[in-house]
Amino acid sequence: MKGKMRKVLAALITTYLMSNATITFAMPLTLSIDEAIDMALKNNYNIKIAEKDEAKAQAALKSAKSQQDPSVSANVSMGITDVNDNGFERSNNNNIRLSMPLYTGGKNELNIEKAKDSITASELALIRTKENTMLDTITAYYNVLEAEKIVAVDKETVDNYQEHLNDVKNLYQAGSTPKVDLLRSEVELVNAQQTLLKSQNSYDIAVSKLKNIIKFDSEDAIDLLDDVEYHAVEHNLLECIAYAKENRVDLKKYQVAIEQAQKDIDIAKGDKKPSVSLSVGTGWNKQILPDHANHSLTAAVEASWNLFDGNITAAKIKDAELSLEQAELEYYKQADAIDLEVREAYLNMQEAEKRFHTTKVAVSKAEEDYFIAKEKYKAGAGVILDIIDAQLALTTAKTNYIQAQYDYASYKATLDNVMGVSEEAE
């Protein structure tokens, strides 16, 4: 009776303590793939750097436009002169000048257009950076899911070996199996445990990489909500290549570079043309401020034309023409690289798709083979190597199936990226 009272009292005390204590549990971060992408797009440093490049291009445009605006300059000079040792003579000169270009041979206008092209190029670079960040996020997300499932397979393998070891121990104690089977079973269990430790470490690394991409600075666990779904690609390889060359924003950036190089040629040719500017100024001396009796007012239209400069302009034109040819070659080089990227992604995806379908069948067959080997050994009709071989085949089949699933999903995401399919990035 006293024992029952002590138990009741202990239960009451425990209930009281739990009701008055504050217990904090770290809840895992539940994360869908879209949420992960949003976090990466918001926090990724490469995107922030690309945004700064766009802001710099905007500032460069303002600077180019300001070359068309009037400019005002002021000059003040004050001095003291000793004239033949007869005393010092003070002097000061002051002037204010306003000037603005009227015609520059088209150079100012072309520089403004080039600055606008630079903004377009920076915008395209920002989009591509976002596209690549999205791919990195998707790949990292899938890598975590894959590593998690590999851990589950390795854990199942350890459990199977542990169950088999228990059976072998019972059979050994009953004298139905030799000690060598017991030793071999113990070794296989330890080996499976080592594999499990490695896969758990791979999972932790995969999680760390995902957290780094999305900039989640916390040691809290993450719980991924989405999983891969199989969707067949309907387009053939040539259609994918054609789509990529039409939609890859970085290829469009090379087109902008060609347009800028063409403008550089026209800017260099502008040095052969005259330039015209307007200036208005006023000046005075012998006093700090101007008065009606001592000041001058000038207005002028100035024109200049470089008739001969030792072929400097011709050299600039030639340099600009070579830069244009280089920009065109860079464009063709990038187009070839995109062609290869699409081919590699498409062929890798096809290969993973084939593995996905074949390994799915292999898993069910491996499970059946393992069950048969295990039951035969229990009945004394099999040998331990049958169990080990069947378990290895089962683990390999499940691992191959998981890898094929996520390889296909990752290669499909890569194919979308190299084709330039990313509406979210815009």
Q: What is the pLDDT of residues 36-59, one digit of tens each?
A: 999 999 998 899 999 898 899 989
Residue 423's pLDDT band (cuts 50, 70, 90)? low
Q: Rounded mean pLDDT of 401-419?
A: 95
Contact 263, 110 (CB under 8 A): yes
Neighbours of 173 (CB within 10 A): 10
Which residues are registered as beta bridge partners of 90? 80
Distance (Å, rounded) from C-alpha 188 to C-alpha 389? Answer: 11
Q: Flag whether pLDDT at 19 surpasses 70.
A: no
Angle at 391 between CA 385 and CA 396, to 5 degrees: 125
For residue 124, the model assigns a pLDDT of: 92
Which pLDDT score, from 0 to 100, does residue 289 have? 66
- pLDDT the model gives residue 236: 94
- For residue 228, give every residue at least 6 positions away whose Cβ sits within 8 Å of its Cβ, in sequence order, or none: 142, 145, 405, 406, 408, 409
Q: Identify the residue with better confidence: 106 or 83.
A: 106
What pLDDT, on the 0 to 100 scale, is given for residue 17? 43
Least confident of 178-192, 301-315, 330-344: 301-315
**pLDDT bucket at 365, cuts 50 / 70 / 90:** very high
Token code pair at residue 303:
């024109």
Could you tell me which residues come within 8 angstroms of residue 112 by beta carbon, excluding any fewer than 6 positions away?
61, 64, 65, 67, 68
In tens, the pLDDT along 337-364 reads: 999 999 999 999 999 999 988 998 899 9
Residue 424, number of CB atoms within 10 A of its CB? 11
Give the rounded percent of residues in the chain with a pLDDT score beyond 70. 88
Q: Which position has the token pair 């088209």?
A: 106
Give dist(CA 239, CA 169) in Å, integer: 62
Alpha helices in 174-283 (DSSP H): 179-214, 237-247, 249-269
Given a cut of 70, whether residue 134 has pLDDT beyond it is: yes
